[in-house]
Every structure is written in C-alpha cells, then in structure tokens.
Structure 1
Amino acid sequence: MESAVTEIFYRLSTAFFWPVALALLALFVLSLADLGSLLVQSRRRANAPASDLPALANALAASLRNGTRPHLGAASLSPSLARFWDMLEARLARLDSHEHLDLWLDETLQREEMRVANRLDLTRTLVRIAPMLGLAGTIIPLGPALQSLLAGDMAGMVNHLVIGFGAVVCGLVLGGIAYVLTLTRERWARVDLKEMENLCELVLRALPEAAHVRGAAQFAGAHA
C-alpha cells in the first residue's frame, strides 16, 4: 500500500514538471520583454513635457469665461494627462447640464484608477507566483535525482539537480523583475492619478463659475 501511494505521488510530481518548466520559461521571456518596454517608457517619460498646473487653470478659466467649450489651448500636459483630458473633453461635450458634475468626474476618475489597477495586477501576480513556480521547479526534480542516486546513476542525479537549481534561480529572477516593474509603475500611477485628480478639481471649480457668469449676463441682458 505504501509503495503504491509513493508511486502515485511520484508520478503526479513528475507530471507537473513540464507545465511548471514551460510556465517559468514563458513568463521569464515575457518579463524580459516587459522590462524592455518599461525602460523605453521611462525614457519617454523623462523627455516628455511636465504638466503645468497654473497654466492649466488659467487656460481652462479663460475658455470658460469666453463661453466656449472647456479648452486647455497650448498648456503643457504630460502624455498621460493629455490622454485623460481628451477623454474628459469628449465626454464634457456630450453633457446636457453640469448639475451632477462632481459625481460624473468622480466616476470618470474611478474608471481610470481601475484601468491602472488592472494593469498593475499582472505584475503583482507575478511577484507572488514566480517564487512558487521556482520552488516547484526545484523540488520536482529531486525525486528523479534520488531515484538516480539509488540506481547509482550519478550523471543522471547531477542533471536533475542542475535543472532544479536553474528553476529556482529563474523563479527568483522573475520575481525580482516583476517586483521592480510593479514598484516603478505604481510610482508612475500615483503621479498620473494625482495630476488627473487636480485636473478634475479645476474643471469642477471652473464650470459652475462659468455657468454662474453666463447666467448673470443673461439676466442682466433681459433686464437692460
């Protein structure tokens, strides 16, 4: 009975070797590609213009005082903020009123936060999974290595141990790369989301003021 159970566990553990090995290799290649993408993105962010919050406020207020659609003109925007403003501007153009503008802006900002969180979840998952795969890839070859040792096949035992040590190194490096990717993108996300919050606050402050100015002008014209 004991030998049958041992044989079952041995067969199960060896059956998982190739899925674990292939997953480690595939994720390692993907993490290297993602690291290269991060380096390119880092260089682009370093060369991209920074957002000028006072200029944004002035440009937004000026366009609203003139009674035109909210427009930032030539104000400096970071790439992420420019993309967010394009989405915000398109949705503002479809609004019939600004009665629930605060709720609408909050919902738009939450959508962006969820998009960023979904992107970060990929590398966060790798940080946890990589050591598990590395440990599994290390322990699984120990069974065949012990079998080779019992059979007196030292070369076979060494080959299995080399595979196990390679798997744990691959898993640790994969986890380290994923950790660096996660930390860097979390820092970028905090900066980008803070800029988006500031822009939403500017829009929230400016639009009611513009509506009040237009209402006062219409009232004055009606009683002139």
Structure 2
Amino acid sequence: MESIVIEIFYRLSTAFFWPVAVALLVLFALSLADLGALLVQARRRAHTAATDLPAVANALAARLPAPGSGRSASLDDVALSPSLARFWALLQQRLAQLDSHEHLDLWLDETLQREEIRIANRLDLSRTLVRIAPMLGLAGTIIPLGPALQSLLSGDMGSMVSHLVVGFGAVVCGLVLGGIAYVLTLTRERWARADLKEMENLSELVLRALPAGAGAAA
C-alpha cells in the first residue's frame, strides 16, 4: 500500500513539471516585455511637462461650452499628462452631450471610480504575479528532486546533476520573476496615485469653472 501511494505522488509531481516549467518561462518572458514597456513609459513621463493647473483652470473658465451647444472645451494648447489627457477626452464627450450641467459632479465621481477600477484591475495582475512567482519557482525546484534522488540511487550521477541544475534554475527564475513583478507593481502604484490625484484636481477645476451651482447635485 505504501509503495502505491509513493508511486502515485511521484507520478503526480512529475506530471506537474512541464506545466510549471512552461508557466515560468512564459511569465518570465512576459515580465521582461512588461519591464521594457515600463522603462519606455518612465522615459516618456520624465520628458512630459508637468500639468499647469492654473492654465487648465483659465482654459476651462474661458472655453467651457454651454449646455446643449454640442461643442467641447478644447485644451489642445495646455500640457496634459497622458492619463489626464485620456480622462479629459472622456469628459469632453460628456460635456458635449449634456443638455444641462446639473449633476455633473455625480458623473465626474462615477468616471473617477471607473478609472480607479481600471487601474486596480491592471495592478492586480502584477500583484498576483508577485505572490505566485516564488511558488512556481519552489515547485520547479522540488519536482526534479524526486528524479534526482532516483538517479543517485541508481548511480547515474549525470542524470542527477541535470535534474538539480533544472531545479536550481527554476527557483532562480521564480525569484527574479517575483522581483520584476514587485518593481512593476510599486512603480505603477506610485504612478496611479499621482494620476488619480491629477484627475481629481481636473474634476474640481471643471466644477469651479461652471456657473455657481450648475454642477451640484440637488
């Protein structure tokens, strides 16, 4: 009975080797590509001028369209960060469609919440990778130990060394993968906080640029 249980566990562990190995290699390649994209984004953000909030406020006050006019308040000549420009594009569409500025503050809150959810969903991927990468590395290390011990018992030192090399390579890959995911998560969380703060500031400027009481909820 004991030998049957041992054989079952051995077969199960070896059956998981290739899924774990493929997952590690694929995730490692994807994380390197994501790291490259992060570096490009960091360079772009570093060369993007900071948003001039007073200029945004003045532009809004001068160009905010009247309800039902079908026009949008263009801020093409004002420096906006990529995330803020995206948020402003959404706001432009809404302002052009509104028949009234009444309850605009509620729509702004809803849009901000959607942006927060979108950013959180993206961050969840890297947060998950931070946790599962070491697990995959550990699994990729332990699984080859069974065949390595069998090779040791049979005197096949070459096969044993090969299994150990694969195992140690898997744990290194898992740890590096987890480290990359951790850096990606920290950096994007910091950017997300800054972007959401800018969106909140822009929303406040929009409400201030409206006529008194126009954007407030009843």
Identity of aligned residues (%): 80
Report if aligned partners of 1:24, 1:133 keep a CA contact under 8 Å in 2: yes
Give me the whole-angstrom Cα distance separating, in 2, the residues matched to 1:73 and 1:163. 55
- Amino acid across the alignment from 1:97: S
- Match in the other structure for 2:123: 120
**1:156-167 alignment to 2 at 5 Å?**
156-167=159-170
After TM superposition, give the deviation of residue 92 of structure 1 in Å: 1.5
- Match in the other structure for 2:207: 204
CA RMSD across the alignment: 1.9
- Match in the other structure for 2:33: 33
Unaligned segments of structure 1, at least 5 residues: 213-224
TM-score normalised by the chain length of structure 2: 0.92
Per-residue CA distance 1:110-144 (angstroms, 9 max, x = gap): 11111111111111111011000000000000110
Report if aligned partners of 2:65, 2:72 keep a CA contact under 8 Å in 1: no
- Amino acid across the alignment from 2:11: R
Give me the whole-angstrom Cα distance separating, in 2, the residues matched to 1:23 and 1:77. 39
Give me the whole-angstrom Cα distance separating, in 2, the residues matched to 1:11 and 1:54. 67
Greater CA drift, 173-182 or 65-74: 65-74
SS at match of 1:99: coil
Residue of 69, 75, 78 corresponding to 1:75: 78
- Match in the other structure for 1:109: 112
Give me the whole-angstrom Cα distance separating, in 2, the residues matched to 1:182 and 1:192. 15
Unaligned segments of structure 2, at least 5 residues: none
Give me the whole-angstrom Cα distance separating, in 1, the residues matched to 2:186 and 2:114. 21
**2:94 equivalent to 1:88:** no
**2:162 equivalent to 1:135:** no
Report if aligned partners of 1:59, 1:73 keep a CA contact under 8 Å in 2: no
- Amino acid across the alignment from 1:131: P
- Amino acid across the alignment from 1:44: R
Residue of 170, 190, 193 corresponding to 1:190: 193
Per-residue CA distance 1:64-120 (angstroms, 9 max, x = gap): 499975343522211211111011111111112222111110001111111111111
SS at match of 2:134: helix
